[in-house]
């Protein structure tokens, strides 16, 4: 339910964003035209994170043995490999799609549903991608930076891509509602736990730090690991997992 609610909020925000789209796209120096709105949403998200998500993630990290925590991370990474196969195919990168299919099959069968990353040891490295990346390859502009309630940082393009990506993930099609929601909850906690060390690196204005880190991460994804001189090109964007 939380995931569906978050998606609706994301979609509402994305539909509202084009009101100033023409103004935004004509000013390449302005990457964050909705900063006042974004800062307000960031305050809400940050409060939720401070009082709920971060304590839960710290508890999870404390009680989970390292090998078990790594296994959970591998399990969800394997599910996202399935989505990467779909997007690699849509991008016309069939070699990546074939390698990703082999990786997903090997880890699912021999890695106990992906808990063990057997494929990497066999030389089948992951191809991280998503539908926001696919849209970029198709020529869709990035659009302005947005801070989405509950979901955190996005651009119009990556946010729209996130909505589509939900339907490329195997857990979406689990019929058992309790199990599916449990997977969503565990995924959120696991993703937040992976960011605990990043909290120590945050300095200065947290809003700006997170915004710039997100935009750089998306740029690296879309440009296949290359970093441009700046972020002013709205075509250079490509999702930190999850997310917050």
**Closest to 24 (Cα-Cα) out of 200, 173, 142:** 142
Alpha carbon distance 134, 130 (integer Å): 6
Which positions of the chain have pLDDT values less than 70? 1-29, 227-244
Instruction: Provide the b/e sequence for 97-115 (b: ≥16 CB within 10 Å).
Output: bebbbebbbbbbeebeebb
The tokens describing 2, both together, are: 């939380």
**Closest to 162 (Cα-Cα) out of 173, 150, 174:** 150
Q: Which residue has tokens 């393009």?
A: 157
**Closest to 144 (Cα-Cα) out of 22, 2, 48, 11:** 22
pLDDT attached to residue 238: 41
**Closest to 17 (Cα-Cα) out of 1, 41, 49:** 41
Instruction: Provide the b/e sequence for 175-211 (b: ≥16 CB within 10 Å).
Output: eeeeeeeebbeebbbbbbbbbeeeeeeeeeeebeebb
> Would you list the domain boundaries of the chain?
2-13+38-222
pLDDT attached to residue 56: 97
* 116 close to 107: Cβ distance less than 8 angstroms: yes
Output the pTM of the full model.
Answer: 0.80
Maximum alpha-carbon separation in the chain: 52
Alpha carbon distance 4, 109 (integer Å): 30
Q: Which residues contact 189 (CB under 8 A, 6 or more apart)?
A: 53, 56, 57, 60
* 16 close to 146: Cβ distance less than 8 angstroms: no
Q: Render pLDDT for 145-158 as a digit per residue (tens, 0 to 9).
A: 999 999 999 999 99
Q: What pairing do the DSSP bridges indicate for beta strands 145-148 and 152-155?
A: antiparallel
């Amino acid at each position: 339910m939380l995931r569906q609610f978050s998606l609706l909020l994301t979609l509402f925000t994305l539909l509202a964003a084009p009101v100033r789209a023409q103004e935004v796209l004509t000013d390449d120096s302005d990457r964050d035209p909705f900063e006042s709105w974004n800062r307000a949403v960031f305050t809400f998200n940050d409060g939720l994170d401070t009082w709920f998500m971060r304590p839960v993630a710290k508890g999870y990290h404390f009680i989970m043995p390292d090998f078990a925590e790594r296994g959970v991370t591998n399990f969800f990474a394997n599910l996202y490999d399935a989505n990467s196969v779909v997007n690699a195919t849509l991008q016309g990168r069939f070699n990546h799609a074939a390698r990703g299919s082999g990786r997903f099959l090997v880890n699912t069968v021999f890695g106990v549903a992906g808990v063990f990353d057997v494929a990497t040891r066999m030389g089948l490295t992951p191809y991280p991608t998503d539908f926001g990346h696919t849209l970029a390859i198709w020529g869709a502009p990035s659009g302005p930076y947005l801070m989405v309630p509950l979901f955190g940082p996005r651009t119009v393009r990556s946010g729209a891509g996130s909505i589509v990506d939900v339907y490329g993930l195997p857990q979406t099609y689990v019929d058992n509602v309790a199990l599916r929601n449990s997977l969503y909850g565990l995924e959120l906690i696991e993703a937040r736990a992976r960011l605990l060390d990043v909290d120590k690196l945050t300095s200065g204005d947290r809003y700006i730090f997170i915004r710039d880190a997100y935009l750089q991460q998306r740029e690296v994804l879309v440009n296949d690991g290359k970093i441009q001189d700046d972020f002013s090109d709205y075509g250079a964007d490509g999702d930190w997992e999850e997310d917050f």
